[in-house]
Structure 1
């Protein structure tokens, strides 16, 4: 089999995922140990800037970065073929609930799509849903992470231990999250699509309390 940098298949013919060491390395290539990672989610309602916790949730961050950059292979659920480029580009926030959260990262845009694989939770005892702006993985139960994520608008202690937290968004982002959460909806789905245009990944000098 070709390497992960060539065909997106491992030696066993399976799709490489971020919990594979080579795939994780590829996803974070160019990032130094003394740097923090920041994701800027460019939405149709404004940017969301979030620091990523790559030390507390290394697999989850490698997955998010790889799917954002298009360096991690994924299966397009519409065609069944290998996805082209970033999974997140030109997707939508398909579920928004005021005083709770906004959810996105589904290539189908209806809450049923993903990258064609699942990977384990990374629950950290030192991280909790104790504030607005927490960036975490959506799931359908333990160890069912894929590409969907959510950002909280308020503290939600009932989610502690159930979802992998892998980042924290800044105050300006929380204001945008609140605006997105209050768009007109039917069944928690925005009537006017809120687009995630792209996810930009930046490596920045490590700061206090960084990821």
Structure 2
């Protein structure tokens, strides 16, 4: 399966729910949804950073324009590395795994 076939689309603003302990984020892809439990007690800064970027509340530098923006970071990104039955890797704004 080519990495370009899976679109990493994250709509966390409407797709995170708060269970009793950890938020659950839903990653929507063209191959189906993936539920990710966020372990905020173990990694509070990482969870806050991920959710802030996903919801568009955390500022970042857009790699394509070089400008500071606040928008959903993960929307439209691809999984640039896919190893069947093992892992998916995504989050690179250029889709190459280099940034």
TM-score with structure 1 setting the length: 0.37
Classify the secondary structure of the residue corresponding to 1:67.
helix
1:37 deviation in Å?
Answer: 0.4
1:88 aligns with 2:88: no
1:99 deviation in Å?
Answer: 3.6
**Distance in 2 (alpha carbons) for counterparts of 1:108 and 1:50:** 23
Match of 1:75? Answer: 61
1:50 aligns with 2:53: no
1:59 aligns with 2:70: no
* Deviation digits for residues 161-199 of structure 1 (CA, Å, limit 9, x no counterpart): xxxxxxxxxxxxxxxxxxxxxxxxxxxxxxxxxxxxxxx
Larger Rg: 1
Aligned positions, number: 82
CA RMSD of aligned residues (A): 1.8
1:40 deviation in Å?
Answer: 0.2
1:97 deviation in Å?
Answer: 1.3
Long gaps (5+) in structure 1: 1-30, 114-211
